[in-house]
Amino acid sequence: MTVPNLVDGRTVIVTGASRGIGQATARAMLISGANVVVNAREENAALEETTALLREIDETRFEVSLGDITDPDYAPVMAALAKERFGSIDVLVNNAGIIRDQALGFMQEADWDAVMNTNLKGAFLCCKAVSRQMVAQRSGRIINVSSITALSGRPGQTNYGAAKAGLIGFTKSLARELAPKNVLVNALAVGVIDTRMTKQIPRDTLREIKSMVPMNRVGHPDEVANACLFLASDLSSYITGSTLNVSGGGYI
């Protein structure tokens, strides 16, 4: 469920927005009145689906920014597009993420680096690119999409767990740094959500994970999008440095 006008007139950047949580978040923000910059690495069928969904809502209030968030030269370009097109940068949702699951003894260095670069370094680069504008405005919201793996651990995900735990630590430190400037920084600890990434998890493993969720189901991307919407809105005006658990009780 989305609330019309909850983020009316705000400019929101959503990374990794071509599918799953990113797609749902971009859609929720647009429905709730925001201008949205949709980031994706490249043009593909998933991005076409996202843009088609957004056009049905309002084709005048969103832009697509193609690029790799791990490229230090890209994030400033994305931020400049948002500022030039819509006049401000009010919310950043660092959603882009990948998994390269493998037992540590068999994990390749390239798998470690890829996960750390996308899930942690990419968030750093995007935050750096938007923070000056937010500080100048003396207002802004940064939402970093982490995982309950950062809190509880999971076999085969040492790279992912390290990156997502790093993202929570990054969130806390940045929140302290930017709070005096009225820029609020929070994280989501997301559980198992029905996305393409989740479909890469073996069925037996997914069944085992689901059995550990008190609500006995996986989450829907819209449920994470609603949490992002809350943190992007004035409903969360006195919350910063927090990690909101969106996992159906998967981590208590």
Amino acid at 1: M
CA dist 87 and 81 (Å) reads 9
Q: What is the H or E stretch that residue 146 is in?
A: strand 140-147
Identify whether 251 is a catalytic site residue. Answer: no
Q: Which two tokens stand for residue 86?
A: 């819509």
Look at residues 162, 127, 131 and name the one whose alpha carbon lies nearest to residue 144.
127
Q: What is the H or E stretch that residue 39 is in?
A: strand 35-40
| DSSP-based three-state secondary structure for 244 | strand
Catalytic residue (choose from 74, 160, 238, 251): 160
User: In the chain, where does DSSP find H-type helix?
Assistant: 20-31, 45-58, 74-86, 109-116, 122-137, 149-152, 158-178, 203-211, 221-232
Q: What residues are labeled active site?
A: 160
